[in-house]
Structure 1
Amino acid sequence: MKSLVESILTEAHTHSASDIHITLDESGGTVKLRVKGQMVQLQLLDGDTFKRLINYLKFITELDINEHKVPQSGRTTVQLEHGEISVRISTLPMTILRESVVIRILNNNDRQTSRELFYDKKDYLFLSEYMKKSQGLILFTGPTGSGKSTVMYRLIKEIADEGLKAVISIEDPVEYEVPGLVQVEINEKAKLEYAPLIRGVLRCDPDIIMFGEIRDKTIAEELIKTSLSGHLVLSTFHSKSALGTLVRLQDYGLFKEELSESISLIVNQRLIHTAKRSFIICEYIESKDVENFLKGKTVKYDTLIDKLALIHQESGMNDEEYQYYHRILQ
């Protein structure tokens, strides 16, 4: 199984895949790669090989091999010929004793700098300047697979490399190991709640706090309080647009006043794949825009569709690519 896993991961690296999907149906197991947003079949597995592969993946990520009824997630690093590759393994129960697995490749684009991730380098410079602030809440938003965590980690890494600020992250689980960053992994078995954990982090004199993802009202409230206490706080959040982020946060029951006082910047982004290259486009609203929107005023800014149209005009994508992404972004 070790050689099979190494072979699959090598193919994933070669094709710059973001994820590997391992599923089972009546005909047997299937391994597929997600390459530039599209699913590509890699190989077929017989039933026995599929079962042993799943068990081996659970073993190397220290998951419970005998647990088939609840989702599990773990992380590991595998040594390949070209170097180490970090992965996150997530299992999903299907029927009795049957599971599917998704492997997220965590470091398949490490050669890119933060600047190279963006189509418009001015977006990178804008975000880089925001990282120099001493207080406020910065949210990186978008759907799954839009590159939120990648951008946030890259910006944090640049701050950590400078070594001038104390940066602490709270993650579930730790996805990228960043030198110079104090990374705290949430231990669900210890039943440690977020509020006391964040208060514990505050006692360690951080300049910047990064929280992996806002998943509920409790986390959102704690991060708002933290940003108002004189710290720069970064996190990710699932939403379709920058303004939609504010609507979703209000759905949590958060007050307009605390949102207006705490949020410095909302970045909403998408990962775009063209025949020429892959890159990120983003839209963003700042604190004044947040305040105006919450007061019911009209907010004008360059949206993702505006950015997409400009890229098309500059021949950064062909007509077919433009129409495809325009339809998705509407």
Structure 2
Amino acid sequence: MIEVISKSVIAEAINQLASDIHFMPHVDSYQIFLRINGQLHFYKNFPLSVGKQVIAHYKFLANMDVGEKRRPQSGACQFFVNENQRVELRLSTITDVNLIESLVIRVIFSTIHQAQQINAYFPKQVDLIRTLIRKKAGLILLSGPVNSGKTTTIYQLLRERVKEEKLQVITMEDPVEIKESSFLQTQVNEKIGISYDLLIKSSLRHHPDILFIGEIRDEETARMTLRGALTGHLMIATIHAKDSLGVIARLNELKISQEQLKQSLIGVVSQRLIPRFCPLCQSKVQLSCPHIPKAFQRAALFEILYGKALKNYLGQLNLLPCFSPINSQLRKAWAYGYICQKDYEHFEIL
């Protein structure tokens, strides 16, 4: 019974293309929410006893301590919905003040990311990023919130380039979210000492053409990424920052100097995925909208710092007018009727 319920929740998440499943505890029940297109949608209620058993089942599958309910835990597992559907799950538990566990499951299903084009409100922005990624050597950095499509964008553009040229692409991620047979994909495993900086160091000995680093988290990873760019490799990495200028500030915090960035940095991209406005429904696209397919219910906006604007900023001069910040992109998308006013105000960076 509990196994059937557990499978049904995962199956519904896959059917709705949900990125996360939230088990939120209350006094006598669990409320289950699915995060779809960045927003939480109520799925169903479970009695408290059933919810606890379902969480225990997931914890068992992820090799977590089923008996430990006080300390936060994390784990991972593969979940077979049927013979043809297998997803990667990343689990995280936290106990509330009433000593009831909450659970969030991140659902990673790579087959969804095999799109042949990138959904963007302004396609010329994608063309510009495509031009940057065709450089022979240097550093390209991407920022954006979780589930904003950064990895999907990079993978698709790298696929395009690999189809045209015989290149070795090595990726290192935590975890690998998109399976791609034409890349050499590696995965971080801190428990056995496989960190980002170790993978970068080892990958550089493979003499690859392009390296993709899932996230720059610390000084050592930043230093090794920069070293790869300065030694003739194209290095592409993501880093947490609210916008493109914030990326450079974050690198400075990680003790990367302006002079080092001048020598290596090709461009900085900040990406957002924003729900489309449906002119027929006269509202933001919802799950029930019959006019726009699920895979196209959100599209990307990009803030791209490159060329003379980047050079000026690194030289501590004023940015040139050609740099269009994310707020300008949002205003333009709203003015064209692509997004609703509420989302324009929600995603605007203050």
Question: Normalising to structure 2: TM-score of the pair?
Answer: 0.84
The 1:165/1:2 distance shift into structure 2, 3 A limit, reads farther
The equivalent position to 1:311 in structure 2, one of 303, 328, 333, is 333
Residue matched to 1:286: 306
Alpha-carbon RMSD across the aligned residues, in angstroms, is: 2.6
The 1:33/1:118 distance shift into structure 2, 3 A limit, reads same
Q: d(CA) in 1 for partners of 2:119 and 2:337?
A: 18
Residue matched to 1:173: 175
Q: How many matched pairs? A: 327
Residue matched to 1:54: 55
Q: Which moved more, 1:264-273 or 1:108-117?
A: 108-117
The 1:72/1:163 distance shift into structure 2, 3 A limit, reads farther
The 1:193/1:106 distance shift into structure 2, 3 A limit, reads closer
Residue matched to 2:214: 212
Could you tell me which runs of 5 or more consecutive residues in structure 1 were left unpaired when the two chains were aligned.
Answer: none
Q: d(CA) in 1 for partners of 2:75 and 2:5?
A: 20
Q: Which moved more, 1:103-112 or 1:203-212?
A: 103-112
Q: d(CA) in 2 for partners of 1:199 and 1:321?
A: 42
Residues 213 and 236, structure 2, Cα contact 8 Å, conserved in 1: yes
* Residue 295 of structure 1 pairs with residue 315 of structure 2: yes
Q: d(CA) in 1 for partners of 2:67 and 2:136?
A: 47
Instruction: Give 1:181-192 correspondences, 5 Å limit.
Output: 181-192=183-194
Report the AA paired with residue 307 of structure 1: Q
* Residue 144 of structure 1 pairs with residue 146 of structure 2: yes
The 1:147/1:167 distance shift into structure 2, 3 A limit, reads same
Residues 96 and 102, structure 2, Cα contact 8 Å, conserved in 1: no
The 1:99/1:157 distance shift into structure 2, 3 A limit, reads farther
Per-residue CA deviation, residues 182-235 of structure 1 (Å, 9 max, x unaligned), is 111122221234433322111112111111111122211110111111111111
Q: d(CA) in 2 for partners of 1:212 and 1:44?
A: 35
The equivalent position to 1:119 in structure 2, one of 112, 118, 121, is 121
Instruction: Give 1:1-330 correspondences, 5 Å limit.
Output: 1-66=2-67, 68=69, 69-80=71-82, 83-94=84-95, 98-107=100-109, 110=112, 113=115, 115-160=117-162, 164-276=166-278, 277-300=297-320, 301-325=323-347, 328-330=348-350
Question: Displacement, 1:62?
Answer: 4.2
Question: Normalising to structure 1: TM-score of the pair?
Answer: 0.88
The 1:6/1:159 distance shift into structure 2, 3 A limit, reads farther
Question: Displacement, 1:176?
Answer: 1.8
Report the AA paired with residue 140 of structure 1: L
Per-residue CA deviation, residues 234-274 of structure 1 (Å, 9 max, x unaligned), is 11111111111111211222211112212111100111013
The 1:35/1:108 distance shift into structure 2, 3 A limit, reads farther
Question: Displacement, 1:9?
Answer: 2.5
Report the AA paired with residue 190 of structure 1: I
- Residue identity (%): 28
Residues 137 and 233, structure 1, Cα contact 8 Å, conserved in 2: yes
The 1:136/1:75 distance shift into structure 2, 3 A limit, reads farther
Could you tell me which runs of 5 or more consecutive residues in structure 2 were left unpaired when the two chains were aligned.
Answer: 279-296
Q: d(CA) in 2 for partners of 1:44 and 1:193?
A: 40
The 1:193/1:319 distance shift into structure 2, 3 A limit, reads closer
Q: Which moved more, 1:128-137 or 1:263-272?
A: 128-137
Residues 141 and 238, structure 2, Cα contact 8 Å, conserved in 1: yes
Q: Which moved more, 1:17-26 or 1:275-284?
A: 17-26
